[in-house]
Structures are given as C-alpha cells and as structure tokens.
Structure 1
Amino acid sequence: MKNILVTGGNGQLGQALQKVAAAYPQFNLLYTDYQDLDITDADALTAYFAAQQIDACINCAAYTAVDKAEEEEEKAFLLNFQAVLSLAEICAQHNTQLVHISTDYVFSGKQNVPYTEAIETDPQSIYGASKLRGEAAAAGYNPDTIVIRTSWLYSEYAVNFVKRMRELMQEKQELNVVFDQTGTPTYAGDLAKAILDILQYKSENTEAAIGGVYHYSNEGVTSWYDFATTIKEMTNATTSIQPVTSDKYKTAATRPAYSVLNKEKIKTTFGITIPYWRDSLAKCLKNM
C-alpha cells in the first residue's frame, strides 16, 4: 500500500479526495491541514517526511483569496510559491511523486480558443502570478512533478460559487451575475478521481515519463450567468437572475474573461474520461 500525503486536506479538493478514496484501496491517504502540517515551515516538512514513507504528495494547499491577494501579496507568495518550493525540494529528496494543483488564472484570459498547456502564460493578478511561480517551483526540482491546472472549482464543501448561489437564491428575489466571463466549472469530486487515476496509472507504469503540466476541468463551456441559471433550474429556485457585464461588478483582482482549458493532453496520456459540466453539477446538487 502506498502512502499519499494530501496537504490542504480540509479544503474542497481535500474533502473530495476523502470521499472518493475508498475506491482506491491500494492507496493510504494521509490528510493534513495547516494545523497538522504547516508547509510554509521547511523544518516541519523535513520532520514529517523523516517520520514516515511518503510515496506521493497531492498539494491542495493554496492561498485562494483572489481579491485579498492584491493587498496580501506576501502571504499569497508565501503559500503559493515559497511553500511549494520547500515541498518540491523535500519530495525530490525522498523520491516522492508530487502532484501540484494550479489554476486558469495563470493565463491572461484574452484569447478565444481553449488554452492548451503550451500557450504562453500571462497572469493578470497577484493570485495568478503567485500560482505561476508555484508551478515553476513544483517542476523545477523534479521533471516528474505533475502540475494540474483547473478552473471554477466547486463542491459540496467549503465556500464556492454553487453553494453561495444556492444560499442567495433562498434569500433574494433578484441576483446580478456577470455574463461576459467564459470558462468551465470543475466538480471537485471529478478532479479528485482524476488525480487518483493518474497516481494509479503511475504505479502501474513506473517507467512512464508523465511529468509536466496538464489541464483538467469538466467538459463544455459556459458563462457565470449561465452557470447560475442552471443552478436555479436544477434547484427549482424562483429568483430572477439578471446578466451584467464585468464592469458593473468591480473586483480588486482582474478575472480572466475567457479561461476554457483544453483537456486533450490529460485525456490522451491517462485515458481519462471527463464528465460534462451540467451532469456533474446535477450530481453535486443531489449530494447537497
């Protein structure tokens, strides 16, 4: 049985991994959060890895307060870059497979065709810049590192767009939602399964060179407005939802206007089937 360290275990993806892990009995997942293991503390990482054999690490820990990062640049880079650097170094020392989670915010959002892994990055926010530096740190120590960029993550857990929309639709008669930002939602349960499928593939193909950057989101394309109206439809809510442009909804950090990710590489490399976003949303809402 392989030991897999999960950092950020109390977040959306960490909790999703806990739910799907039963289907992978060959893996023993060790869930930690900052109270158990502060990944910004290099000495704590050294002690943790010395205490037990860690075969793989899924780094779900991140500073994700996108707007707040504009004011807290140092904190964002501490967790999204410096901590990743320390984690990558310790994983390399112990021959531990690192899977690092990144974001669509590393792109400018200014193009109109799905982003492949080869397209040049150009973050427009502190959050995006800190995550991009983290990608470089994760891969810099070991070419076998797997970086997975995802977008619009939601789940039954923590704070996310789907949960917030459900709450607001119970409280308000009318909501304004931007319609000029296009992307694809990602159900955390689907991403969690994909990560464990990748680690299973690696354990069965030990000589395969699979390190690099991959994209994962659900299939399809939508806007935040259409995402919200679909939530309304699936929950039989009566709230009126009005489409507005981004300039009517000011935020400290710039959001990508277009962040659809091309998933061909991850599907081809690992034989992964990705569900359509509406199907996964229905599943999540049912679980709620």
Structure 2
Amino acid sequence: MGLDALFKQFTLDHEFRLEPSTIKTYENAIKQLLEYTEKSLDVITISDIRSWLGHLKEIGYKLSTISVKLSGVKTFFSYCLEEGITLTNPAEKVPFPHIGEKLPRYLTLDQLNRLRQYLDGRLQERAIVEILYATGVRISELCAMKKEDIDWSERIIHIPKGKRKKGRIVLFTWESAEHLKVYLESRTDNLPFLFLGGKWKNRPIYRQQVSEWFAKCSKRLGFKVTPHTLRHTFAAHCAQKGMPLDYIQVLLGHESPEDTHYYAKLYNQARKEMYDDFM
C-alpha cells in the first residue's frame, strides 16, 4: 500500500476518535520523520526516531511541539503494526520529552464570586458562567448547546457531539438552573439555540465572541478568566469537595492519557490546598 493510500485509510479509521486537525498534525509528523531519515516505514528504527527528535530540538522546536509529533508517530506506527504494514512499532519505547508542566490555573472561590458580582444583571453572560462552572464543558460544547438538550427534571444536559464526536451527559446545579431559567424567560425568540450570538442575536453564540467577552472581564477584574479556566475551576472545586478523580474525568469527557495526567496534577494540587486551609 502506498503512503498516500495508507494515510487515507488511517484517516478513515480514526475520524470518529480524532479531530481532523489532529490527524493532519500526525500525518505531517510522519512525513517529516520519513523525509529526515530517508527511509521507508518498515525499516525505521528506534534510533532513527530518537535522532529525529534530537534534530527537532536542535533546530528550535519547543518540547511541547516535539511531544505532539512523537504522539502522532506512536499512534501511526501502532496502527501500522495492527494492520500488518510493519512488523514492529519502533516508537513504542521512545519516551516523551520531559516538559516542566504548569499546573492548570483555576479560580479561587473569592475570584469566582467577584466574577458573579461583576455580571449582576447581565443575564446571558451570568448564565454562561454558571453553566461552564457547573458542568465543566468545553467552550465548543457550550456553543453547540440547544434548548432540547436540557433535561430540567433530572438536571442533565446532553452533549451529543463533544470532542472526538463522542456524546455524553453532564449535570448542572440548582443555582445554575435558576440563572439559566431567568435568562431563557427573558428571551422573546423561538430559536433553538441555548445561547445567542451575532450582531442581531439570531444565531448560536460562537467561540470568538465568548473569548472576547471573557478578555474584557479579565481586564476589568484584574485576573485572567477564560472558558477553560472555568473548566479547570469545576474540576478543582469538585476535587476539594471530595469527588474522586475518575468521576471528575467522566464528567469532563476525558479519555486520553495526556488528559488524565494533566488533571491528576490539578486534582492533587487542589486537594493539597484544601488540606493547607484546614491545617
């Protein structure tokens, strides 16, 4: 099978698990590796991959970028081994570069309350903050929400197509439900979208609009807050209240080892801060 045909098959087999941009990034990494080694897939060795990674570092690639490229190479070679394209996976035992990771940033309860106070009277913005904080959803998931996705009696929101196109459900609190109801009752339209955007408020709200609005909030309040900050805040506050890590990860829709590692660090830090407050 030719390389182009193999990439096409890889894409078809992974389109329901990986975002198109991720697949493209992985494909580019493989092409870059092949160009560097001037070898075919079936003869590339672990030494070749290590040499390539060292070359990337020498020419100025960030460790985070190198890590993503290696992840792509590992995934692709694993696929090739499963499909019988290669006899081994030379990338399997290549370690990821050590990156001095920063802990995910989240709001303290005082900062969260200051944000809430700042939004007093702004019904849609306050409802957005409450839903992001109560559910931990991604901004893309929030923007795609429709009224029909909400089960008020069970306080459940259905996320039909989250990251990697896998649906799930999230829970929301009584407080967030009240703010969401007040906002929806203030609307006079019959549009199906949960939150409205655009100049005429006649379309679903979009990511850039929410990001710009949060940037203004950050400038006014004196601390940075983004939709992803509220996702981190949801996870951290759940940890501080004693929710097990695996429960939090289910609610966040996590599956990858990278996500697990990232939020495990946040979980441990949040629990430590709660311990420090009591001691």
Whether these two folds match at TM > 0.5 is no
User: Which structure's CA Rg is the greater one?
Assistant: 2
What TM-score do the two structures reach when normalised by structure 1? 0.23
User: Which protein is richer in helix relative to its size?
Assistant: 2
What TM-score do the two structures reach when normalised by structure 2? 0.23
